[in-house]
Amino acid sequence: MSDSHDLGYGLRKEYWHKGIVTKAAKAIVQQVKKDGLPYIIATHDKNNPRSGMVMKACGMKYCYTYEEQWQPKNITVYFRMYQLNFNCNEDFVYKKYWDMYKNHFIEKV
């Protein structure tokens, strides 16, 4: 499987901490499962653990962390990659980012 199925979101700061993203993300996860996608992935900056909490609330599991020189700000960011499999193949891990970036590792999250 080479296609990613990325879940991404952004919300204006005045709407943070109201459960909006968690509720919307759960609805999206249910829809893509219904649509027959085999899995869904999402990443978040290690310095934004609340985003990881959204992923966990949707049933996603942490898989690995990778370092990226993020543009356009040209800063080093450590992204945590989460995944939820729908096709009963719980061992499958989407490895594109693992393979793409030489500095990658598994944390105790």
pLDDT tier for residue 88 given thresholds of 50, 70 and 90: confident
Which whole-number Å values give the CA distances from 48 to 34, 88, 89, in the listed order? 29, 30, 29
Which token pair is 48? Answer: 């934004």
Please name each of the domains of the chain with its CATH number. Answer: 13-105 (3.40.630.30)
pLDDT tier for residue 2 given thresholds of 50, 70 and 90: low
The order of strands in the sheet holding 61-70 is: 39-45, 75-85, 61-70, 104-105
Which pTM value belongs to this model?
0.91
- Write the pLDDT tens digit of every residue in 31-59: 999 999 999 999 999 999 999 999 999 99
Which token pair is 44? Answer: 């978040």
Which token pair is 73? Answer: 């700000």
